[in-house]
Amino acid sequence: MLKSNNSKLIFHIDMNAFFCSVEELRNPSLRGKAFAVGREGTLKGVLSTASYEARKYGIHSAMPIIEAYHKLPTLIVVNGHYDEYKKYHNMFMSIIYRYTDKVEVASIDECYCDLTHWIEKKHPLVLAKEIQAQILTEVGLKCSIGIAPTLFLAKMASDMQKPLGVVVLRKRDVKEKLYPLSVKDIYGIGKKTYPILIENGIETIGDFMDKENETLVKSLVGENTYNYVTSHVLGNSSNVVDNDRYSDYQSISTSNTYDVFLESISDIINEARRMARSVYNRMVKGDYVFKTVTLTLRDHEFKTITRQKSFSEYKNELYDIYETIEDLIEEYYDSEKRYRLVGVGISNMVHTKDSFEYNLFNLDKFDDKKNLISKILKDINDSIGEDVISFYGDKKDK
Q: Which residue numbers are catalytic?
A: 110
- Residue 147's CB: how many other CB atoms inside 10 A? 24
DSSP single-letter state for residue 315? E
Instruction: In whole angstroms, give the CA distance from residue 23 to residue 51.
Output: 10
Burial (CB count within 10 angstroms: exposed 0-12, middle 13-18, buried 19+), residue 360: exposed
Instruction: In whole angstroms, give the CA distance from residue 273 to residue 290.
Output: 17
Cα–Cα–Cα angle for 272, 348, 294, rounded to 5 degrees: 25
Strand locations in the chain (E):
10-15, 35-38, 49-50, 76-79, 103-107, 110-114, 143-148, 166-168, 252-262, 288-299, 304-315, 339-347, 350-351
Question: Is the Cβ–Cβ distance between 11 and 122 less than 8 Å?
Answer: no
Q: Residue 163, SS3? A: coil
Give the closest residue to 148 by CA, choosing from 3, 14, 242, 7: 7
Beta bridge partners of 145: 13, 166
Task: Give CA 77 to chain center in angstroms.
Answer: 22
> Is the peptide bond between 163 and the residue preceding it cis, with omega within 30 degrees of 0?
yes
